[in-house]
C-alpha cells in the first residue's frame, strides 16, 4: 500500500526566523499522522529546518540540485552538499525551473540519475501547459516528460522515486484540476510506468498531485484512486493551511 506523501515547496520564501516559527507550529499541530511529510525549503534554511524537525516524522527536502558532483557551476548546489545538510528528498524538474531557468527533459534526467546515485529521493515533476491541455496534448506531453526523465533509470531504482503531476496552468493561479481530471492523468502516468517497468513496479511508485492544493479541497483530491499525496506551494507557507492538508 502506497503511503501518501505531502510535500511543501516553500519556493523563494522564509527567512531563518520565519522558518523556525512555521516549523514549530507545524510540529505542535501535526499529531500522530501516518502521512509522510516533507518540507522543501530554500538552501539557506536547510540546516535550520533540519535541526527544528529532529524527533518528528517531518523529512527535509531541497528544491533543486546540479547533476555534477563539483565544478565551475557558479550558484549551483551538488547532491553531496544537500546530503551533508540532512536532505532526503529533492524536487527535480519543477515547471518554474523549466520555464524560468531553461530546464530540459535531458537535464531533468541527469538530475534524477544523480539523485538516485547519491541516495536522494527525487520528486520528479511533470505537467502540461494550458495550451497543451486545450489542444488535447496532455497525455502526449506527460508521457514524453516521464519517459525522458526516466531514461536509463533501472526498475530497481523506482522504489526510490516520487512523481508529482503538476499541470502548469494550475500552479499559483488559483485554478485547480478537478479531482477527476488529476486522477485521470495520474492513472495514465501509472500506466506509462507499467508499460516501461511492469505492473508490480508501477504500483509502488507514489504519484502526487500539485497545483493550488488547499485544505478545503485536499480530502476530495486525496480520496481519488491513484493520487498518493500532494506537492503544495503557497499553502505550505501557512501553518493552518498546510496542517489542514496534512490532516486531510
Enumerate the active-site residues: 94, 166
Query: What are the CA-CA distances from residue 180 to residues 192, 222, 233 (Å)?
Result: 18, 11, 21
Contact between 141 and 100 under an 8 Å Cβ cutoff? The reply is no
**How far from each other are the two terminal CA atoms of the chain, in whole angstroms?**
18
**Helix runs in the chain, H state only:** 16-30, 46-52, 79-84, 95-100, 105-117, 130-134, 138-149, 179-197, 199-202, 215-222, 239-246
The neighbour count for residue 2, using CB atoms within 10 Å, is: 13
Report d(CA 190, CA 209) in Å as an integer. Answer: 13
Amino acid at each position: 500500500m502506497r503511503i501518501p506523501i505531502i510535500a511543501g515547496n516553500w519556493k523563494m520564501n522564509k527567512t531563518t526566523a520565519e522558518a523556525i516559527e512555521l516549523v514549530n507550529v507545524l510540529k505542535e499541530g501535526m499529531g500522530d499522522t501516518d502521512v509522510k511529510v516533507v518540507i522543501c525549503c530554500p538552501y539557506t534554511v536547510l540546516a535550520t529546518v533540519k535541526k527544528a524537525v529532529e524527533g518528528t516524522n517531518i523529512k527535509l527536502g531541497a528544491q533543486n540540485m546540479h547533476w555534477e558532483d563539483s565544478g565551475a557551476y557558479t550558484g549551483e548546489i551538488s547532491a553531496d552538499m544537500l546530503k551533508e545538510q540532512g536532505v532526503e528528498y529533492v524536487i527535480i524538474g519543477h515547471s518554474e525551473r523549466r520555464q524560468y531557468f531553461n530546464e530540459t527533459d535531458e537535464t531533468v534526467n541527469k538530475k534524477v540519475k544523480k539523485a538516485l546515485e547519491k541516495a536522494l529521493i527525487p520528486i520528479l515533476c511533470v505537467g502540461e501547459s494550458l495550451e497543451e491541455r486545450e489542444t488535447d496534448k496532455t497525455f502526449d506531453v506527460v508521457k514524453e516528460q516521464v519517459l525522458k526523465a526516466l531514461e536509463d533509470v533501472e526498475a530497481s531504482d523506482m522504489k526510490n522515486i516520487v512523481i508529482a503531476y503538476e499541470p502548469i496552468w494550475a500552479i499559483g493561479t488559483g485554478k485547480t484540476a478537478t479531482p477527476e481530471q488529476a486522477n485521470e492523468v495520474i492513472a495514465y502516468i501509472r500506466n506509462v510506468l507499467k508499460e516501461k517497468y511492469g505492473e508490480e513496479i508501477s504500483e509502488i511508485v507514489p504519484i502526487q498531485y500539485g497545483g493550488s492544493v488547499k485544505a478545503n479541497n485536499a480530502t476530495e483530491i486525496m480520496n481519488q484512486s491513484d493520487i498518493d499525496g500532494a506537492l503544495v506551494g503557497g499553502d505550505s507557507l501557512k501553518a493552518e493551511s498546510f496542517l489542514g492538508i496534512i490532516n486531510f
